[in-house]
Structure 1
Amino acid sequence: MASDHGSHRSDSTSGSAILAAFIPTFVAAVIYVSIFAAIRNSYRKIYAPRTFLGTVEAKDRTPAERASGSHWFHGFRTLSDKFVLQHNSLDAYLYLRYLRSIIWICFIGCCLTWPILFPINAKGGGRASQLDKISLSNVVKKDYLWAHVSIAWVFFLGIIVYLARERLRLIGIRQAYFVNDEYASRLSARTVLWLNAPREACQPEKMKDYFGNDAEKLWAARDLGDLNGLVAQRNGMAYALERAEMDLIITGAKLQKAQGPATINGQTEAQQTVPAAKRPTKREPPVVGKKFDILDKTRDRITKLNNTIETHRAAPSRNVPDQSAVFVSFNSQPAAHRAYQQISFQSRLPMEDRFLAPRPKEVLWENIAMPVKERLSKASIALVFVVVFTIFFSIPTGIIGTISNAKYLADRISWLSWINNLPPWLLGLLTGLLPPFLVSWLVSYVPKLFRHIAKLSGEPTTSQAELKAQAWYFAFQVVQIFLVTTFSSGAAAVATQIAKDPKSAPSLLAESLPKASNFYLTYFILQGLTKSSDDLLNYSDLFTYLFYEKFWNKTPREHFDTHADMKGTPWASWFPKFTNLFVIAIVYACIAPLVLGFATVGISILYLSYRYNLLYVCQTKVDTKGEAYKRALQQVPTGIYLAELCLIGLMGAQKAPVQATSMTVLLILTAIINLILDRMLKPLEVYLGVDIWQEQEVPLLAEEDGIDPNDESALHGASHARRLGLKKLPDPAPRILSDFFDSIIAQSRNQAKNWLSDPSVARGEDAEPLKAEDLEKAYLAPALTSGMPKLWIPSDKAGTARQEAELNAAAGMPTTTEGAEIDEEGKLHWDHDFEHVPIWKKAQNV
């Protein structure tokens, strides 16, 4: 059996397979980047919308000194990541911060592991060859394993310390963001959402009884019934009417050109330019039904729908149900935060029942008034679906993982022998490039599915749905991209030998598990080069934009919507992807240290592409206020646990019980430290208490804690001890720990405050306070308040548009012809200046 081990070592994935994966991906990346550089300035709508587009406020636009040549690269190189914090969002800045953290930890890991483990692995006494020679699979001398144990203790505990410090720094950054004037001026900053509140608590006259004297305004969620569907149907018909009127106007313009320059005046003459035979018509049912005029019929249907909507809004069934959701705004941020911390109606439920600072545009209105039982059942069904989906997804992922060992399988399984007849370059692509490419492509659609399921599961806001999808997708990534792929890549190579001699399983897996790292070497290459260049070129968005502009869009509204739309920031797919890459790098840090190097380079390249996109392209559409980054940091220890478990198993398989015991101690110690940190930091991370707010409560707690109310230092320490859950520790531990934690938080908070209040940063005009009518409906479902959308059609010389606008207005449908016109050729021209677009409104500071 031993000779058989050595015989297949020459077939192990080697530098040639890595090169076979690197060359085509590098060539493709160069081509993509070259095309991007060539067309970037010609398609600024796709590649630099943050420099000019009206969707982005003027004060938040990325500077663009010149749009020609490569001048933009100077700005990209000189702008700091702080610019993203000041002009994009807190989440966007923290995402870049996360990528930088991963890069630095992987780089430090290289500096720590390579000088020590490479030579030890190479002289480990095994007969491995090529890249396997510098991995743990080449170590058979038990004493050499102490080097791996020592490195593991230093590296893994170092990561834990870094994570603890970063979580403390994050608390300070989020506190600074919360008290920043621009954020604090929002109505949402001092508003709290409670789910499943009793009906009495949702009554305005009972507001102060339930929420205190600081409560200012209350909005209760009502039963919407079928209102959402009716409003969506009404709006869809309105936009269909716009398209039909567009056809009529174009027809009128072309007929006028054909008839000559005769002037047309009045409604009767305008009707004559478009005879009844040429007006837009439709059959119902299709093909065999009777023809009818689309314009008249649609106007009639919209009028009836408007009446139906108003009747449904006034119906008694729109009252507040027994248990509903309620939004309450307070007279200050501190009051809102205290109420969020202290008031709960469903504290015993295994789910969150209150949410701080929800913005109206992110509320999922169909979910917030959901009864408790329905919310719990939907959440449970969604979780079961995700678990089952993740398990069964293992089948295609496992098959893909075995491809990386196709050469070895071909030598052992007769019906796969044809693989040996493939040219070396093709075999290299098959085993080196194809598996990671297929895995990357296959899983790219999963976050969209999880995000949809999260919204169906009863989450009250898009940000909460995004965070749930983030948790699910991370678990999916770990199971599929790490566990299943690692097992199928490493175990498949020796599956036949285990079948012949089951007793050899531990030693064979100990030798072959590190081989799976070769899959991730090519995976990091593929992610670093192909994904980053693909994100830069973004050809899918470019082709979609060109298709809609050239072939699909017809009305001014459709052209404007396409022009104004910007690429978003899908945190539920971005964060888990890199957390999992980080997990992979941590797991293989001591098993195959070369992975750390590839991770450093690959993620560094990806960081540059994401940095470009957040500076020039992307708009934050889902704001988690730093929560997504916090969850990512909490997920990183998964990699440490897996790494320690793998090392325990590998050392046990190598019959090194003392080293395995040492790793077991490290595993237990890591779990205890992480558990204590989670418990201590949870109050600060959840409630984000800021010192200036907490000081108001300290005297009230002094007597309860047995502290002299006149001893300010003791009061301050006791306040932190209470918030950190340290009261049970013996003195002076609570005081020392709270002071230490507070020093890190305060330093980070002050630094972030300076960034956010930098006098050199351009500031916009102060937001105007909400008008009384806007305040009344700020947190009411749009289905209850939204009016008929204003129709936008282009003006024309034939007068057809003016006639249609008058007919629409008579039917209760406001219509404008400003900012767009149809020329004599029937072509549309519209004003791209957002200030002149009649259907565009500046976002309210809510």
Structure 2
Amino acid sequence: MASGDATHALLPRATQQTGSHRDSQGSSLSGLLSTLIPVFIISSVVFILFLVCRKRADRVYQPRSYLPALRNWQRSPKQTTGFLGWRKEYSMLRDDFVLGHASIDNYLWLRFFRMLTIMCLVGCFITWPVLFPVNATGTAPDTTGLDVLTMSHVLPGPKYYGQAIMAWLFLGWVMFLIWRESHYFVRLQQHYFLSPYQKARISTRTVLYINVPEESRNEEVVRRDFAGVRKVWLVTVPEKLAEDVQERDKAATKLETGEMKLLTSHTKRQMKAEKKGTAVLPSNNQDGSRNAVVVHEKDKPSHRLPILKFLPLGKKVNTVDWSRSELHRLVPKIATDQHAARHDRTQPQGALFVEFESVLAAHSALLQNGIKNKHKMTPKEIGMTPDEVLWKNVIKSYATVHLMNILCTAFVWFLCIFWTIPVAVIGAISNINSLTNMVPFLSFINHIPPVILGLVTGLLPVILLIVLMMLVPIIMGVMAKMFEPTMGLVQLKVQGWYFPFQVIQVFLITTFASGAAAVVTQIINDPSGAPALLAKNLPRASNFYISYFIVFGLMTAAMQFLNVAPLLFFLVLGKILDKTPRKQYNRYVNLGGLGWGALYPKFTNLGVIALSYSCIAPLILGFATIGFYLLYLGFKYNMFFTLGTNVSTRGESYARALIQLITGIYLAEFCLIGLFAIGIGQTNQSIGPLVLMLVFLVATIAWHVIMKRSLKKLRADLPGEGAAGLVSQLEHPNGGADIEKNGVNPNGHHNGQAYNQNAYNGRTDGYAHDPQSNMGDSYNGQGYNGHTHGDMPAKEHANIAPAAKPSMMTRIKAFFKPQQAASNVITAISPLLATPSRPYTRQEEEDAYVHPAIISECPIVWIAHDKYGVSGQEVMASRQKIGEGFEMTDDQAWFDDKGKVQWSQEIEKAPIWEDEPAY
């Protein structure tokens, strides 16, 4: 998401063009166009680049359509060839396609933008017919251009009732929308995790407990106090073993990198010698065996052993020999320690994982523990996978975690307030010419060559601001990882911290600074008139955000389509950085994902801005509608064709964003209350609107409290695992009578996942899609029949067609029944969620939530094969010197005729491929 950060940094400078056209009477339409036209041209160029590059870089623009690492049912349809061929699949697929093929987090991310678009669009229909005439017919002096459509053009008096009544209507609509989406989310999440695919996963039925007292660190105690317990993992964090495993893995990586440097240097040296005719080939012995290949000393890599970890100074050693000796020392030691750790019966530490027989039993345990916690253990999270656990944090005491949370939160609020200082310094650099006039000792800057000065005042501030804004969520992430027990909770903590930072720094400070800057001279001359002056000029600050929404929407959407970072790695950086088969394999196999904690606050803040200005400058709702819709289109493409999910919050980040959006309602109310209160100083006719807004504020607080209680009750009211029967009903509506004995359904597809197309297409949120042809994962009621990672035939998606649209009345009724709408979505995609993940082996079940250091094996060292025999020689030498428990190979990777590393791109044949269980 570097593109988003870059756009955000560029926006203040771009929108200054609007300000440059602002005279004392306000912004003009020409000033707005002078900003939007160049941004539109740039965005168009970026989008054209996407169209050109798309045909040549499938790995960048449609990896989900063919990537072998995905099972067939997880893939997207192959895009139609042609310059604009991608539009067919893009327009036909519905958003719930993402829910069935990717994850609930990705689906809700799209839904968030769709919800914001609808919120603002309806707001236009509510506010514009009333507030535009009210504002335009105002009689306030010194307002022209776009300012006549804002509240600053209206003098205090009866017309304030227009703003008050529209606030009741529009903000009431937003409150309903947030209530609906919150209830929709709870039911969607519940139904989703009750689907056969999800409830078969261990993580969906597992609860993490922390702060477990010593008397409760016993499996018998847990089974006695909770019903339906299937397995208990008592957490032990072997710190010394974990350090050794980390050192072993580093040594293995060092050996792999060192061997590849050696092989690359030797191969290139030999190829150059062959061109000159001076190459020396190894001779054969009398018994026919080949003598060892002599490697030039300059080709052997070396590194320094640092005296301190952060200081790369120390003794210089041969990288390959050092790595081998380290692995020779660590591999057998770790194997012995792991065996001892598995049979260690000492007192476990203060956390445990409890797997229950069912999802319902797991949630019931959470409720029971919350109501009557017999042993004071804290149920922290449900549904986390083992690789999301931060093991050092799960055993920290309550006092330690609580103290760290307080200190980190205090530091975040410090950032929220004082981050303005470095931003102001960067702003001063961009306007350094003015500083030289105010500060004489900086006059030497005037003698700097114009080209260099232009870079300093133009490019440097933008780069510094990009870096500065990127640092904030990174800092917050580092702090959250110090005490949160899982990566999902880290994302939610960052989201909770980063949102107020966005509201304060990006919105409030900018707004008040913009309003105050326009009247700073008048305030200095007459401080007593400051409130009235600010009240008049704050609505005018909306002109900045009118440009903000369009510029941000256009640039971010275009950059989302272009996918700049993956494209650069594909074209340039990957060839420079990926020097080993492992790096190329990881680059090819792994899909990128989004960081919810850093992303949601940025766009939630945009929603807050739109709400805050909705009634005092209603034009902003129209531009916000366009901006949000453009963002929706850009992210929609990536969710369909390019992105995976790196960290799952199980949709909770969406729920939190909805609650954070309420900040915009409160800010809108406070702004109107403040403006009306200031208006009382001029006329008592402002009292009525003020009373209306105060009543509405009280009603909002009451609604907020009631909604929180209703959501808590709804979360406790799990629909029961019978709700998942919708899947079975759709698969076999006649009790399985439509499935022939030979395993072929009436549509002629093999019985992997039998679609009932009529039921599927008739759903409110359904779409037609039959992935039965050559289905990789098959489940026929008797169990898992294996899976394949083979390529998906094109005919598999040949029958994609828009679903039959329900009547308008049906859609309206569904809109007012969010819980039923959530059930409809799950029903629509139920065939995709009907196949459970493959069964776990007994060992996989036993090791699910065991500390990784106890079960981790030494990584396989994978190098490329060379035609000169050096790779085989190195493999044999490493195996002999390191010994048992270590593996090294040069299979499935080689040097081509140009000395570049290549691999087969057959992932199941890759030495490091593992059919990892879907925990």
TM-score when normalising by structure 1: 0.84
Q: How does 1:341-490 map to 2 (within 5 A)?
A: 341-343=367-369, 353-396=379-422, 442-456=468-482, 458-490=483-515
Deviations 1:423-475 (A, max 9, x none): xxxxxxxxxx999999787534422332222112x111111110111111111
**Equivalent residue letter for 1:564:** V
Contact 1:270 1:799 in 2 (8 A): no
| Distance change (3 Å), C-alpha of 1:352 and 1:68 | farther
Contact 2:360 2:720 in 1 (8 A): no
The separation in 1 between residues aligned to 2:584 and 2:723, in whole angstroms, is 51
**1:71 maps to 2:85:** yes
- The equivalent of 1:714 in structure 2 is none
Contact 2:188 2:819 in 1 (8 A): no
The separation in 1 between residues aligned to 2:288 and 2:315, in whole angstroms, is 26
Aligned residues: 773
Q: How does 1:423-572 map to 2 (within 5 A)?
A: 442-456=468-482, 458-572=483-597
Which of 168, 173, 178 aligns to 1:153? It is: 168
The separation in 2 between residues aligned to 1:767 and 1:255, in whole angstroms, is 49
The separation in 2 between residues aligned to 1:436 and 1:157, in whole angstroms, is 40
The separation in 2 between residues aligned to 1:626 and 1:350, in whole angstroms, is 28
Deviations 1:643-686 (A, max 9, x none): 0000000111111222112111111111111111111211323x
Deviation at 1:300, TM superposition (A): 0.9
Deviation at 1:194, TM superposition (A): 0.4
Q: How does 1:71-470 map to 2 (within 5 A)?
A: 71-127=85-141, 128-212=143-227, 214-250=228-264, 253=267, 255=270, 259=279, 272-275=292-295, 277=297, 280-282=300-302, 284=304, 292-310=317-335, 313=338, 314=340, 324-343=350-369, 353-396=379-422, 442-456=468-482, 458-470=483-495
Deviations 1:351-371 (A, max 9, x none): 964211221121111211112
Which of 701, 704, 710 aligns to 1:680? It is: 710
- The equivalent of 2:599 in structure 1 is 574
Deviations 1:310-333 (A, max 9, x none): 465437997766751101111222
Deviation at 1:521, TM superposition (A): 1.1
Contact 1:556 1:820 in 2 (8 A): yes
The separation in 1 between residues aligned to 2:463 and 2:121, in whole angstroms, is 25
Could you tell which deviates more after superposition, 385-394 or 564-573? 564-573
The separation in 2 between residues aligned to 1:414 and 1:803, in whole angstroms, is 69
Could you tell which deviates more after superposition, 645-654 or 571-580? 571-580
Deviation at 1:787, TM superposition (A): 0.9
- Aligned-partner SS, 2:252: helix
**Equivalent residue letter for 1:378:** M
Deviation at 1:165, TM superposition (A): 1.9
**1:772 maps to 2:842:** yes
**Equivalent residue letter for 2:72:** A
Deviation at 1:308, TM superposition (A): 4.2
Deviation at 1:234, TM superposition (A): 1.4
- Aligned-partner SS, 1:636: helix
- Aligned-partner SS, 1:826: coil
| Distance change (3 Å), C-alpha of 1:316 and 1:33 | closer
- Aligned-partner SS, 2:917: coil
| Distance change (3 Å), C-alpha of 1:809 and 1:741 | same
Deviation at 1:271, TM superposition (A): 5.8
Contact 2:149 2:617 in 1 (8 A): yes
The separation in 2 between residues aligned to 1:288 and 1:652, in whole angstroms, is 67
| Distance change (3 Å), C-alpha of 1:247 and 1:502 | closer
- The equivalent of 1:747 in structure 2 is 820
| Distance change (3 Å), C-alpha of 1:557 and 1:139 | same
- Aligned-partner SS, 1:329: strand
Could you tell which deviates more after superposition, 779-788 or 16-25? 16-25
Unaligned runs of 5+ in 2: 1-21, 307-311, 441-458, 681-685, 725-812
Deviations 1:615-646 (A, max 9, x none): 11111111111211111111121111110000
Contact 1:556 1:792 in 2 (8 A): yes
The separation in 1 between residues aligned to 2:216 and 2:574, in whole angstroms, is 50
Q: How does 1:697-716 map to 2 (within 5 A)?
A: none
Which of 871, 894, 904 aligns to 1:821? It is: 894
Deviation at 1:343, TM superposition (A): 2.2
Deviation at 1:347, TM superposition (A): 6.3
Q: How does 1:762-801 map to 2 (within 5 A)?
A: 766-801=836-871
- The equivalent of 2:913 in structure 1 is 840
| Distance change (3 Å), C-alpha of 1:263 and 1:756 | farther
The separation in 1 between residues aligned to 2:466 and 2:615, in whole angstroms, is 25
Unaligned runs of 5+ in 1: 1-7, 416-432, 696-739
The separation in 1 between residues aligned to 2:865 and 2:406, in whole angstroms, is 54
**Equivalent residue letter for 2:708:** D
- The equivalent of 2:807 in structure 1 is none
Contact 2:47 2:561 in 1 (8 A): yes
The separation in 2 between residues aligned to 1:446 and 1:613, in whole angstroms, is 25
Deviation at 1:66, TM superposition (A): 3.8
| Distance change (3 Å), C-alpha of 1:322 and 1:555 | closer
- The equivalent of 2:719 in structure 1 is 690
- Aligned-partner SS, 1:80: coil
| Distance change (3 Å), C-alpha of 1:226 and 1:486 | farther
Contact 2:523 2:529 in 1 (8 A): yes
- Aligned-partner SS, 1:142: coil
**Equivalent residue letter for 1:446:** V
Contact 2:207 2:354 in 1 (8 A): yes
The separation in 2 between residues aligned to 1:405 and 1:248, in whole angstroms, is 52
The separation in 1 between residues aligned to 2:138 and 2:285, in whole angstroms, is 96
- The equivalent of 1:37 in structure 2 is 51
- The equivalent of 2:649 in structure 1 is 624
The separation in 1 between residues aligned to 2:816 and 2:37, in whole angstroms, is 49
Deviation at 1:292, TM superposition (A): 4.9
**Identity %, equivalent residues:** 35
Deviation at 1:305, TM superposition (A): 2.2
The separation in 1 between residues aligned to 2:549 and 2:150, in whole angstroms, is 17
| Distance change (3 Å), C-alpha of 1:805 and 1:533 | same
Deviation at 1:65, TM superposition (A): 4.3
**Equivalent residue letter for 1:387:** W
Which structure carries more helix by proportion? 1
- Aligned-partner SS, 2:230: strand
| Distance change (3 Å), C-alpha of 1:672 and 1:118 | same
The separation in 1 between residues aligned to 2:157 and 2:165, in whole angstroms, is 14
The separation in 2 between residues aligned to 1:512 and 1:351, in whole angstroms, is 54
- Aligned-partner SS, 1:581: helix
**1:595 maps to 2:620:** yes
Contact 2:135 2:148 in 1 (8 A): yes
The separation in 2 between residues aligned to 1:268 and 1:342, in whole angstroms, is 75
Contact 1:196 1:323 in 2 (8 A): no
Which of 75, 95, 99 aligns to 1:61? It is: 75
Deviations 1:709-762 (A, max 9, x none): xxxxxxxxxxxxxxxxxxxxxxxxxxxxxxx9999365134302312314xx5x
Contact 1:116 1:147 in 2 (8 A): yes
